[in-house]
Amino acid sequence: MIDAFKEVSEFCRLEIPAAHRVPVAIIGAGGIVDGAHLPAYAKAGVKVVGIFDTDEEKAKDVATRHNIPNIYASIDELLEKSNATIIDIAVPSVAQPDIFAKVANSKHHILAQKPMAPTFEQGQVMADLVDSNGIIAAVNQQLRFEEGVAAAHKMVALGWIGTVTSMSITVNLDTPWELWPWAKDLDRLEVMLHSIHYHDLIRWFLGEPRTVFCAAGRTKGQYTKGETRTVTTAVYDDGLTSLVHANHVNRGGDNYAEFRIDGDKGSIRGTLGLLYDYPNGRVDTLEINSKVLPTDGWTPYPVTTRWFPDAFIGTMGSVMSAIATGSPLRSSVRDNVNTLKLVDALYRSMDSRTAINL
């Protein structure tokens, strides 16, 4: 069994070869950069040469604690003076398209945070800028690199559960939205900021859905304005189905985050440990029950890394690998336009209370 897992673990490896590593500069010194980007880069041996944030005190604090040698006074200065090859952008999405355009036009390669842009149309403009400037640009949908999730993807590709029939992701959480004050008054919240990871992930597994329906709700007394509970169903060609169920106002104290992929010859199930106690979390789990291998019932796959910070090595590593070898990006800006298109359809479904054909 362990031998069979070898090919899977090779696919999930979160390392950046020394020969691929190039200098990075960061725009945004917020919680995700502090807590995930920089710890991941330190683990992977990535050199961060400079940082800019409109809040200079924040930039100074983050730079001091993570040994970043240069704090820049503006984006223009960062682009002119740093010797960075890749610009890592991690600001709220409303600010990202303009920054992205400036960086793309300076011909630097880019890793942008999710959501890439507030609207699908803005995302399309950004993807066109990538093409016209001939740069490499990815979106930080790092769940595609999370070890348990990536292992599941490889198991599906190896045919271990036969033909996939359905995929589901269910999270029931007490989410600390207070961590993101800028999100308090957003009309579009849960799908746009959180479940976008799951919708993007399901696209990676199943491709584009044909028809989607999204029901959403708010809970009395919640901190945020936007929706905090969503249930999304999708139908694909060939009768494939998917479900995302996310509740962020779990007052039961039993946070859980589970995913499952069923096929006609087996099933895979896992948990996203991060969400059991965000942002500390616990170890992920992954199990497979396969008639193809075959396994003797449910068999655990040993996941040894975490979504935060480890999967962030994957997204940055993929940009570096694309620069060094021309390898395809797992989460390109162009691909992410379709995730934004799906998110847009889900909000249209929410607003109209009807199913939307894509």
Residues that bind ligand NAD (CB under 6 A): 27-33, 52-55, 58, 90-93, 95, 113-114, 140, 142, 180, 182, 193
Shortest distance in whole angstroms from residue 201 CB to ligand NAD: 12
Shortest distance in whole angstroms from residue 140 CB to ligand NAD: 5
| For ligand NAD, the closer CB: 289 or 318 | 318
| For ligand NAD, the closer CB: 30 or 266 | 30
Shortest distance in whole angstroms from residue 191 CB to ligand NAD: 12
* 81 contact partners, CB below 8 Å, separation of at least 6: 50, 70, 72
Q: What angle do CA 72, 133, 332 make, to 5 degrees?
A: 85
Cβ distance 199 to 178 under 8 Å?
A: no
Shortest distance in whole angstroms from residue 313 CB to ligand NAD: 13
| For ligand NAD, the closer CB: 28 or 263 | 28
* 165 contact partners, CB below 8 Å, separation of at least 6: 239, 240, 241, 262, 263, 264
Residue 145's CB is within 10 A of a number of other CB atoms, namely 25
* Chain position whose Cβ is nearest to ligand NAD: 30
Q: For residues 189 and 211, give the distance between their C-alpha atoms in angstroms, rounded to a whole number.
A: 22
| For ligand NAD, the closer CB: 55 or 237 | 55
Q: For residues 4 and 160, give the distance between their C-alpha atoms in angstroms, rounded to a whole number.
A: 11
Alpha helices in 177-330 (DSSP H): 196-206, 311-325
Q: For residues 287 and 296, give the distance between their C-alpha atoms in angstroms, rounded to a whole number.
A: 12
Q: For residues 343 and 204, give the distance between their C-alpha atoms in angstroms, rounded to a whole number.
A: 15
| For ligand NAD, the closer CB: 248 or 267 | 248
Shortest distance in whole angstroms from residue 142 CB to ligand NAD: 6
Cβ distance 172 to 254 under 8 Å?
A: yes
Shortest distance in whole angstroms from residue 93 CB to ligand NAD: 5
Give the pair of three-digit tokens for residue 267: 């099933």
Residue that is written with structure tokens 């995730």 in the block: 339
Shortest distance in whole angstroms from residue 141 CB to ligand NAD: 7
| For ligand NAD, the closer CB: 65 or 210 | 65
| For ligand NAD, the closer CB: 182 or 298 | 182
The β-bridge partners of 168 are 243, 260
